[in-house]
Amino acid sequence: MSDLTGRCRCGRVSLRARAAPLSVRACHCGDCRKATGAPYSVFLEFALQTLHWEQEPSGVSCRGVTRRRFCQNCGSPVDYRDDRLPGQTYVLLGMMDEPELFEASDHAFTHEALPDVTIPEGKRRHPAFSVERP
């Protein structure tokens, strides 16, 4: 597999992944909605050691043990980290140069999904987090 690459809207923030994402997950929670403006968000879970940032995002928005990073130049949301899940980061699908390669297997916070959002058949649904926090 060739490396996966991604960049923000303006290109200042860019990354290269040396391995496929560990998982692809959608989240319908209101916090993701506020952070991105989209009805729901799709995240690629990467082990930190497989990600190389050509340029890391300098913007960060913290809430409790979570950090959402964004490009301070163009505002693109970049990734999400949770201190309870060390060693990994969740990169927004929109960052990737080939987003069509990825499909979410799990949908989190389905109880908060908006009425006009259809979750495809066969996807795993989770009323709250799809990844257990310790």
Look at the alpha carbons of 71, 75, 79, 81 in this order and tell me if their dihedral is positive or negative. positive
Does 26 sit near Zn ion (CB under 5 A)? no
Q: What whole-number distance in Å separates Cα of residue 14 and Cα of residue 28? A: 26
Does 35 sit near Zn ion (CB under 5 A)? no
Instruction: Let me know if 45 is exposed, middle or buried by CB neighbors in 10 A (0-12, 13-18, 19+).
Output: middle
For residue 72, CA distances in Å to 40, 78, 125 come to 22, 10, 33
Nearer to Zn ion, 74 or 114 (CB): 74
Nearest approach, Cβ of residue 109 and Zn ion (Å)? 6
Q: Which of these ranges, 22-30, 86-94, 97-105, 113-121, lies near Zn ion under the rule CB under 5 A? A: 22-30
Nearer to Zn ion, 12 or 67 (CB): 12
Residues that bind Zn ion (CB under 5 A): 8, 10, 12, 27, 29, 32, 71, 73-74
